């Protein structure tokens, strides 16, 4: 089995779409709109086949916990592999230069990943890794 996709609500669907397309080479479908429900979404596809759905609807409330730089219960991050340590270092430099925060790293973690942590424009936590072999963890 595989995880088919992960979905994120956002107030600014265009900004989040642009971020993942620019920094992580995501490819986007055409925007889906349901005017009756006030719903819009894009599916962003990555080279591996993984997909991220970004969705917007005006009546979705803001998260109760706005301290996103701290750990909390529930979905906490997604990890994107860029393939190598050099690519991790380059991506950290790229995001930092573009004004995005680097929360920690790049570093080798206790479970053997080479990674750094960042936040997307909506404060969703992302681990950018050199990858791991499926089944390693």
Which class is domain 78-129?
A: alpha beta
Report whether pLDDT(76) > 80.
Answer: no
Of the pLDDT bands very low, low, confident and very high (cuts 50, 70, 90), residue 74 is low
Alpha helix locations (H) across 2-110? 13-24, 85-97
Q: Where in the chain is the domain with CATH 3.10.180.10?
A: 5-57, 78-129
Each residue's pLDDT tens digit, 46-71: 998 999 999 999 888 776 555 555 65
The DSSP call for residue 63 is P
Q: Candidates 2.30.38.10, 3.40.50.620, 3.10.180.10, 3.40.50.970; correct CATH number of 5-57?
A: 3.10.180.10
Each residue's pLDDT tens digit, 99-129: 999 999 999 988 888 999 999 999 899 999 9
Residues sharing a CB contact under 8 Å with residue 58, sequence separation 6 or more, in sequence order: 38
* pTM for the predicted model, two decimal places: 0.82
Length of the chain: 137
């Amino acid at each position: 089995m595989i995880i088919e996709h992960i979905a994120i609500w956002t107030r600014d669907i265009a900004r989040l779409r642009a971020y993942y397309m620019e920094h992580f080479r995501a490819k986007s479908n055409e925007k889906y709109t349901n005017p009756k429900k006030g719903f819009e979404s894009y599916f962003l596809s990555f080279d591996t086949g993984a997909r991220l759905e970004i969705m917007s609807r005006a009546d979705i409330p803001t998260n109760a916990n706005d301290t996103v730089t701290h750990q909390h219960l529930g979905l906490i991050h997604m990890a994107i592999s860029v393939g190598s340590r050099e690519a991790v270092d380059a991506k950290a430099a790229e995001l930092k230069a573009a004004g995005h925060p680097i929360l920690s790293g790049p570093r080798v973690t206790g479970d053997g990943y080479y990674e750094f942590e960042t936040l997307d424009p909506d404060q969703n936590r992302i681990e950018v890794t050199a990858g791991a072999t499926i089944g390693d963890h």
